[in-house]
Structure 1
Amino acid sequence: MHAPAATTAPHPDVLVVGGGVIGLVTAWRTALRGLRAAVVDPAPGGGAAHVAAGMLAAVSELHYGEETLLGLNLASARRYPRFVAELEEATGQDVGYRRCGTLAVALDADDRAHLRELHALQHRTGLESEWLNGRECRRLEPMLAPGVRGGLRVDGDHQVDPRRLTAALLTACERAGVAFHRAQAERLIVAAGRAKGVELADGTVLTAGQVVLAAGSLSGRLAGVPDAVLPPVRPVKGQVLRLRMPAGPAGAPPFLSRTVRAVVRGGPVYLVPRENGELVLGATSEEMGWDTTVTAGGVYELLRDAHELLPGITELPLVETRAGLRPGSPDNAPLLGPTTLPGLLLATGHYRNGVLLTPITGEVMAEVLVSGRLPEEARPFTPDRFPPMTGAGTGTGGTATGERALSGEHGLNAGAREGALQEQSA
């Protein structure tokens, strides 16, 4: 039997490879600027954001050595209210945006000292947070354990429901005329020294004026991408649990009113309450390649550590465990903008800040695709800040150049957790 002959699909101005939250916002914003946009992904609307907790925590996410990334995070956080209003108006869908704030708490002297240092760092960088003693923390959140010894109150941190956000972006893209190719991208097509499109698994050729690789943790696995521009992204495994909070009588205080996060036994844990009664619990982080198995040990550790903060959590119904893969980069920051291969741009590597950086990523990518100019905020995050890959897949979980293939971004699971306050908002 002969293989089917290749066919050629209509020619858009921009072809986005990857239909997660970053790919969708890039396509939507580009279409609104007047370009014909298309997305190729076997299951648009999936990806790491579908598993993420959705904390918009530009202040409490500050880490030593990430001050440059902080600027991008804050710029995106400032855009969120207007971005949400525009998206909800365009789709009629509520994305679960809440201005609830964060309370980062300490359970022992070492954690208390760490939060004090973070508090000082925040103030040196002009960020607002308030130090509270243990009693003040429990006054804000009465369900907290008696052992809480203090914490940081950050009212500027917000949240969004990533699943609703992604669904709304999918609708917005459809209404803006974005074309969807629900298929696997097998290979980047390069001709005359320029990216021209992709070939699908069935032999269909999708050509475009510009190609954006926005496939999250799988961005480094698309065959045909020259090693010199192969994005150095890797999968970082993690797990999220979803529980159901009690409704309580009318007028009673909620089980939890704001995001609570801490370091317990050297690993970070967070609890994110939603208005619909859902409580999201994470986060795990493990460098284990493409394994996305949800393990009993991971679930146990999350519940055990959350119980240290909120003893009543073990009485709540456990309604879901999910796993996915964050797209990590060497410096934990995204790769945004053109590569040295003409016609190929990147929007990937957002790691734990994908949901937070959604508004500014869409804005940046649309601007550079339309005008060729990369906005000032994105210039520290160009792909060329990293040296070219010396071997395909090195450090990214990929395989040899001729074996790389892209099947869409799915996956986060359980395992060892990082020893700092981190979260998977992508």
Structure 2
Amino acid sequence: MRTLPDQEIVVVGGGLVGAAIAWGLARKGVRPLVLDGEDLAHRASRANFALVWVQGKGIGAPHYARWTIGSAKLWPSFAEELEEASGVDVALRQRGGFTFALSEGEMTMWTEEVQSVAAALGEDAPEHVLLDHAGTARMVPAIGRDVVGSIYSPLDGDVNSLRLFRALHAGMVNLGACYQARSDVTEILPKDGGFLLKGAWGEVFAGRVVLAAGNGNTRLAPMVGLSAPTVQSKGQILVTEKCEPFFPYTSTTIRQADEGGVMIGDSQEADTLSIATSQDISTVLAGRAARTFPQLSQVNVLRSWAGFRVKTPDGLPIYETSPIHPGACVVMCHSGVTLAANHALLVADAIAGRKATLADDRFSGRRFHVPQH
């Protein structure tokens, strides 16, 4: 078994969250070792929709809405700095996003959600516009007759997800981080002055450890006195052949990437452990996409894949330092792209500065601890 040299800090997980934290740490002069799993592991980073999205987020949780809005506003400066460090343009577009309704019931439901968030935020609420079919068609002429209306928010956008992943990895290494793949961590033992991390690859002692292993945090967090519960949530995505540009904005269900291909998604499965795609779900996704943009009925689907979201019981992130093992913390969320700017520029700074609170304390995993009577 190979033993690695002692480290100041180890980030467990090299997905979007772990890579953003590692890039942010390296940016502050802290050089982390990133221990990542197998390349074909069921990582959420390979199945994301690449949205920078605020519309409707934070129902019943205005602190989360503000956290999301703040990250979206940081994205332009983050993307610029990331390109400087990595040489990779992540193709950030923040021209606005649409939620398309295919029935009056959908329009009513989504309008109530957006207005609920706006009411809770008051003057901090992001701009949104309610549009009927005609108003939507003026902005997006390619929509179909089945679109009864939409909600438009100018702060929403997207990126090229594969370029973002590559930029974070190239950038963190360029800034001094060390990355080691095929290094699943199976055990963490708190020791005097730090932590011993073990796996089939060997072991390493670290003064501090950041758990950013997505769904793997559920298993690892209790080893350092933390809790990171998750619920099953699987999503499926279709990708079409490249098309002429027809949709210069983005949406939660359909987006045309900068290269021309169209991504179609937004499915939810909570009762399966299979990573396989479902033909039934693909049919529903494709059908809704063709009703929204009829021209897509003539476009070939090239790829389809599924992935498991990192989703806590209430859907909100967890940011917490260990109360009993100083130097250990957990960072996890579902919206790894939207929140990447916050993770790289704010949370990483808090970790580098050894702050006891990494973000709003309401994001602590302690919120799931229900007293026993």
Same-fold call, TM > 0.5? yes
1: distance between equivalents of 2:182 and 2:371? Answer: 28
Name 2:219's counterpart in structure 1: 221
Deviations 1:54-75, CA, capped at 9 Å, x for gaps: 11111x2325213221111011
Deviations 1:206-229, CA, capped at 9 Å, x for gaps: 11111111111222134x943952
Which structure 2 residues correspond to residues 297-316 of structure 1 after superposition, within 5 A?
A: 297-316=280-299
Distance 1:280 1:260, change over 3 A: same
Superposition deviation, residue 193 in structure 1? 7.2
CA RMSD of aligned residues (A): 2.4
2: distance between equivalents of 1:279 and 1:375? Answer: 40
What stretches of structure 2 of length at least 5 have no aligned partner? none
Superposition deviation, residue 119 in structure 1? 4.5
Q: More displaced, 181-190 or 95-104? A: 181-190
Which structure 2 residues correspond to residues 90-169 of structure 1 after superposition, within 5 A?
A: 90-124=85-119, 125=121, 126-169=125-168
Name 1:29's counterpart in structure 2: 24
Out of 327, 340, 345, the residue aligned to residue 343 of structure 1 is: 327
Distance 1:116 1:323, change over 3 A: closer
Deviations 1:147-170, CA, capped at 9 Å, x for gaps: 222221211111111211010001
Superposition deviation, residue 51 in structure 1? 1.8
Out of 338, 345, 348, the residue aligned to residue 356 of structure 1 is: 338
Q: Secondary structure of 2:57's partner?
A: coil
Deviations 1:207-263, CA, capped at 9 Å, x for gaps: 1111111111222134x943952411244211111113432xxxxxx32222245xx
Out of 382, 386, 390, the residue aligned to residue 368 of structure 2 is: 386
TM-score normalized by the length of structure 1: 0.80
Distance 1:159 1:122, change over 3 A: same
Superposition deviation, residue 20 in structure 1? 0.1
Give the letter aligned to residue 210 of structure 1. Answer: R
Give the letter aligned to residue 316 of structure 2. Answer: A
Name 1:365's counterpart in structure 2: 347
Out of 276, 285, 291, the residue aligned to residue 259 of structure 2 is: 276
2: distance between equivalents of 1:365 and 1:150? Answer: 38
Superposition deviation, residue 105 in structure 1? 2.4
Give the letter aligned to residue 40 of structure 1. Answer: L
CA contact (8 A) 1:20 1:44 kept: no
Superposition deviation, residue 374 in structure 1? 4.8
Q: More displaced, 273-282 or 62-71? A: 62-71
2: distance between equivalents of 1:235 and 1:35? Answer: 34
Superposition deviation, residue 315 in structure 1? 0.8
Distance 1:365 1:8, change over 3 A: farther
Name 2:237's counterpart in structure 1: 240
Give the letter aligned to residue 67 of structure 2. Answer: L
Distance 1:361 1:316, change over 3 A: same
TM-score normalized by the length of structure 2: 0.90
CA contact (8 A) 1:131 1:152 kept: yes
Distance 1:44 1:180, change over 3 A: farther
Which structure 2 residues correspond to residues 3-82 of structure 1 after superposition, within 5 A?
A: 6-43=1-38, 47-58=43-54, 60-82=55-77
Deviations 1:292-315, CA, capped at 9 Å, x for gaps: 111211211111122221222121
1: distance between equivalents of 2:180 and 2:92? Answer: 29
Out of 324, 331, 334, the residue aligned to residue 314 of structure 2 is: 331
CA contact (8 A) 1:227 1:388 kept: no
What stretches of structure 1 of length at least 5 have no aligned partner? 1-5, 248-253, 262-269, 391-426
Q: Secondary structure of 1:79's partner?
A: helix
2: distance between equivalents of 1:112 and 1:198? Answer: 50
1: distance between equivalents of 2:184 and 2:38? Answer: 12
1: distance between equivalents of 2:87 and 2:154? Answer: 28
Q: Give the aligned length.
A: 366
2: distance between equivalents of 1:363 and 1:163? Answer: 20
CA contact (8 A) 2:65 2:117 kept: no
Name 1:250's counterpart in structure 2: none
Name 1:255's counterpart in structure 2: 246
2: distance between equivalents of 1:16 and 1:306? Answer: 39
